Structure 1
Amino acid sequence: MVCFRLFPVPGSGLVLVCLVLGAVRSYALELNLTDSGKATCLYAKWQMNFTVRYETTNKTYNTVTISDRGTVTYNGSICGDDQNGPKIAVQFGPGFSWIANFSKAASTYSIDSISFSYNTGDNTTFPDAEDKGILTVDELLAIKIPLNDLFRCNSLSTLEKNDVVQHYWDVLVQAFVQNGTVSTNEFLCDEDKTSTVAPTIHTTVPSPTTTPTPKEKPEAGTYSVNNGNDTCLLATMGLQLNITQDKVASVININPNTTHSTGSCRSHTALLRLNSSTIKYLDFVFAVKNENRFYLKEVNVSMYLVNGSVFSIANNNLSYWDAPLGSSYMCNKEQTVSVSRAFQINTFDLRVQPFNVTQGKYSTAQECSLDDDTILIPIIVGAGLSGLIIVIVIAYVIGRRKSYAGYQTL
């Protein structure tokens, strides 16, 4: 953990900010805001990323995920006073910012609103954007929390507005901290109240130079995401995780009976999140391309290993499981999704449909090339004919030799 002590903020005293750095691109942010007496007045710890759909110079639409924020500053974060409520202000990258506003009533405090600003003039993030400039999305929340309680929401929360999808998880926040001490009383979000998870058993291979012992084929589980009362995402798959950390290889079979699924469905992106007691999150992020096909664009994982360490990896530049919109993607054979050198996912009996699910059922499947055995028919026929020709040639040669033998000189 790297900590920064920033300059005094007017009305707030010193701000102590800690940014937890890891392999995952979506960093955990931690803010401990103190007043003029150096007592904590606001505490927050959370993870977030943003998906933005924008028009390109070619009059098409691209989708970009903003999760690697680089250098972060917190200028403008305040404890609040009688005129102004507490505020968390985060700045990152060229022209990107995020603000959360709070207010207080007699016995509660509220997370009133969230504002996210992004800069389409940033050529690194939006290299081909048609319109350049800073755009802002404001969301009204009005989440009420008992005064002197710590708000917790480990589950994924999603906000969507104006082609921007905001994802939040592992959230801890308390505004109006009493007596400088963060409360031990937790107020859970509704999603956490309904989530139940159980242990996932996995095996670690100690040898750093040997290949992990192959495990049995994992059991296929069926996972779904709902949008209101309707199912918007379906996935059936057996999952086997291959992890290498500190030269130690692990093979982990996901047990669907002890794995919980959540997620979100949007017009051009969809998220399936799996978690358990040892898997904080395993995210499969799907996207639409060319307005007529979908594919697996991103995988994020954070989980606890048997040695107590946390393994986190993210890759938002993948291209797997490509199929037309309105259909599902199917691959019964073993398939490997290579997220990084240290993390691969083997899938078995896979079928997934992240968009246009009708009546909670899969649409017609597009099969992967591994399952397509139609090419085997001409190969088998050709091999059979080749074998027959070889037999005929051999028989002919043998017959000719016997014929010559009858006329040899005695």
Structure 2
Amino acid sequence: METRRSLFGRLLGPLCCGLLLFILMLLDGSASSEMYAVDVELKDASNITCLYAKWMMNFSITYESNISEYKNKAFMLPENVRYDGSSCNGTNGPLLAIEFGEGHFWSINFAKTDDTYQGNITFIYNTNDAELFPDAKRKGLITASAKYPLHPIQLHTVFSCHHVDSVKAGNVTNDFWNITLQAFLQNGSLSTAYTYCDKDIVATTAENAVSVPTATTTEPTTAATVTTTTVPTTTTTTTIPTTSSTVCTTTTTTAAASVKTTLSPTPPPTAKTEEKPMTGNYSVNVGTTVCLLASMGLQLNVSKEQVPLIINIQPNTTVVTGNCGKRSADLRLNDRNSTIIDFFFAVKNTSSEKFYLKGVNVTVIRPANGSLYAANNSLSYWDASLGSSYMCKKEETLVVTKGYRIKTFDLRVQPFDVKENKYSTAEDCSPEVDHFFVPIILGAALAGLVCLIFLAFFIGRQKHHSAGYEQL
């Protein structure tokens, strides 16, 4: 007999489904792959350009939480920024100043010698920003500074760097890529001579098998010409008074990550098949002592594209860097300067202290189709006791964000308490019984059930025939 549901009962299911979908949409909003570019041409009162700057960048900041746990916050330059402090001051050199968010200030001030120019970065970030640092133990403004580019650039040349160029200052890591930069332009015109970063030179050398000096300034050839196609942009012009009674006009263009650039260095790898990646052995040292060990095969899967992107990390072309602390550690794997994966480890504050994988950042540099970026600092993978290592021989999948997944193979990792440069006793993700005994037990149980069914059938027939004889 069929019963009729009440109106509330019939509406409850669709309402719950709708609420679930809404929550999933909100959660998906935390995953972002869109990045915004710095694209600035700084002009003085005479409308002469003193600085041309164009690049992509993101930030990674380590901070201490109010429970004495070190966390990592990775974020991109937001869409809405202010350039109010920028100027073409002839005494101190061009100054590009960027203000964003809740009291964050980033600037680069250029100075020159007779032959070179170089910038000095000042980054002041505000840990009172509840969105970025909701549980920061130290509240207020924190300053980090560094020089950039890393080496002085030949005067009257454009500095160009397609690959990721990282600057570390204190607890801040600042990543740049797709860079076109020149300060102190002659007559306000962009130079036709280029100085390339070391990573671009190494990539071009490897591709063409030609020995190239580490600092090269050349007239551009056809292979090295930069051609840029930018998606629709929003352009604003701000007039800024300077201390020298001149007016500095800043033209700001905000562009999405689909900026397309054609350059000569090696294109990023794209794997078309899901073949198992090679297992790499990675380590981080403090002096001559190993403080972090990792061994794994890594495959990055990006499904947000029209054609899913599959990249196998190649150990023989991967550069390993990282940091070790008592309660936090990080491992950066940079494959051919086009795919970067950051792993962030932390110690849980429990009675039996354990470490775990807390966060992952993924950066894929693809000039032809737009760069990709994803970050998640609220993960909980690879739990193991301090003083042990975590091991998982079977394939595992790390869900970074919706559309970004990392598959690991033959994994073993120990980010803390490494002794004598060797792994400690491993805690396995699943005992071997899962691989062998469980299928055997299930098969035996199924076979036993079939036998019981046949036995019951034959016993039932036997009793049926016996009852028939007794009736006769």
In structure 2, relative to structure 1, the CA distance for the partners of 1:379 and 1:218 (3 Å cut) is: closer
- Corresponding residue number in structure 2 for 1:3: none
Which structure exhibits the higher relative contact order, with contacts defined as CA atoms closer than 8 Å and separated by 6 or more residues? 2
Distance 2:276 2:195 in 1: 40
Q: Does residue 221 of structure 2 align to residue 159 of structure 1?
A: no
User: Contact (CA 8 Å) 2:102, 2:129: kept in 1 or not?
Assistant: yes
Which stretch shifts more, 292-301 or 178-187?
178-187
**Structure 1 stretches of 5 or more lacking a match?**
1-21, 204-213
In structure 2, relative to structure 1, the CA distance for the partners of 1:186 and 1:367 (3 Å cut) is: farther
- Corresponding residue number in structure 2 for 1:208: none
State the TM-score, normalizing by the size of structure 2.
0.64
Distance 1:330 1:298 in 2: 18
Q: Which amino acid aligns with 2:390?
A: Y
Query: In structure 1, which of residues 32, 44, 49 is the aligned counterpart of residue 59 of structure 2?
Result: 49
Matches within 5 A, 1:6-405: 24=33, 27-46=36-55, 47-56=57-66, 59-70=67-78, 71-82=80-91, 84-111=92-119, 113-139=120-146, 143-153=151-161, 154-161=163-170, 164-170=171-177, 171-189=179-197, 200-203=269-272, 215-224=274-283, 233-245=292-304, 248-250=306-308, 252-254=310-312, 256=314, 259-267=317-325, 268-276=328-336, 280-290=338-348, 292-304=354-366, 308-310=368-370, 312-324=372-384, 325-355=386-416, 357=418, 361-369=422-430, 373=433, 377=437, 380=440, 384=444, 391=451, 395=455, 398=458, 402=462
Distance 1:301 1:294 in 2: 22
Distance 1:252 1:75 in 2: 42
User: Contact (CA 8 Å) 1:296, 1:322: kept in 2 or not?
Assistant: no
User: Contact (CA 8 Å) 1:219, 1:256: kept in 2 or not?
Assistant: yes
User: Contact (CA 8 Å) 1:150, 1:184: kept in 2 or not?
Assistant: yes
Identical-pair percentage: 32
Q: SS of the residue aligned with 2:45?
A: coil
User: Contact (CA 8 Å) 1:293, 1:323: kept in 2 or not?
Assistant: yes
Q: Which is richer in helix?
A: 2
Quote the RMSD (CA, aligned, Å).
3.9
**Structure 2 stretches of 5 or more lacking a match?**
1-30, 208-265
User: Contact (CA 8 Å) 2:165, 2:175: kept in 1 or not?
Assistant: yes
Note the alpha carbon deviations across 1:104-131, whole angstroms, 9 max, x for none: 22222233x3222122222222223344
Note the alpha carbon deviations across 1:200-222, whole angstroms, 9 max, x for none: 3533xxxxxxxxxx743333344
Distance 1:313 1:137 in 2: 24
- Corresponding residue number in structure 2 for 1:7: none
Distance 2:387 2:54 in 1: 39
Q: Which amino acid aligns with 1:136?
A: T
Q: SS of the residue aligned with 1:179?
A: coil
User: Contact (CA 8 Å) 1:223, 1:261: kept in 2 or not?
Assistant: no
Deviation at 1:93, TM superposition (A): 0.4
Deviation at 1:231, TM superposition (A): 5.3
Q: SS of the residue aligned with 1:304?
A: coil
